[in-house]
Amino acid sequence: MSTADEREVLERIGRGLIYSESEAAFQAPLRRADLVFAYNQTPPSDGARRRGLLESIFASVGERTILNSPFSAAFGGNVHIGDDFYGNVNVTFVDDVEIRIGDGVMIAPNVTLTTTGHPVHPARRVDFARFSEPIVIEDKVWIGSNVVVLPGVRIGYGSVIGAGSVVSRDVPPMVVAVGVPARVLRAITDADLTTRTTAPQ
């Protein structure tokens, strides 16, 4: 594939249009699967090596980052993580395009952040055809266990995504969203500052 052809495919990817596995094959060397494997095999006690591997895997990593192993990433190099991040076991980053995660974000076990989907009609899924749209998770978001965040979604500041939800559309700031598909359940208010501050009666 020529450089001009590669540029055309990248432009299509950037516009959220359909592209195939063969067309995107030139990106394969950018995958950091061996580094992800190495991280997942490194003892938690070897903090310096784990930190170095995260810096090699991801596009950017903030301070005081905790990412429990194992995790997986399609590329790794399209993921940006802010400060004070906590990711529990089995986080999956399908980062064919950018995933941007702000500061103070917490992600529970078995969460998938996927920037990529596939056409509904089978005739359009030849050669693993797909589309990709970036994901943005703003500061102070908490994502519960077994959540799936789909392509093109932005989750607003401070919001909570309930366990088992599928987030298929944007979530505004400072709300609790739950369900399949996820919908806003309620706003987060100052009343939430007083919950679980005393023992149950």
- How does pLDDT run across 161-192, given as a tens digit for each residue? 999 999 999 999 999 999 999 999 999 999 99
- The per-residue pLDDT for range 127-155, each reduced to its tens digit, is 999 999 999 999 999 999 999 999 999 99
| 199 in a structural domain | no
Number of structural domains found in the chain = 1
Task: Confirm whether 196 is domain-assigned.
Answer: no
**pTM of the predicted protein model:** 0.94
CA–CA separation, 25 and 101 (whole Å): 27
Whether residue 193 lies inside any domain: the answer is no
Is 150 part of a structural domain of the chain? yes
> Beta-strand (E) ranges in the chain?
60-61, 66-67, 72-73, 79-81, 86-87, 92-94, 99-101, 106-107, 112-114, 116-117, 131-132, 135-137, 142-143, 148-149, 154-155, 160-161, 166-167, 175-178, 183-187
Phi, psi at 101, each rounded to 5°: -120, 125
User: CA end-to-end span of the chain, whole Å?
Assistant: 69
Mean pLDDT of the chain: 96
Does the pLDDT at position 201 exceed 80? no
**Residue count of the chain:** 201
Out of 49, 118, 169, 186, the active site residue is 118
Q: Is 118 a catalytic residue?
A: yes
Which residues, at least 6 apart from 74, have a Cβ–Cβ distance to it below 8 Å?
Answer: 31, 93, 94, 95, 96, 116
Domain that holds residue 137: 3-188
* Secondary structure (DSSP) of 86-101: EE-TT-EEE-SS-EEE
Q: Domain for residue 161, yes or no?
A: yes
**CATH classification at residue 143:** 2.160.10.10
pLDDT digits (tens, 9 = 90+) for 44-83: 999 999 999 999 999 999 999 999 999 999 999 999 999 9
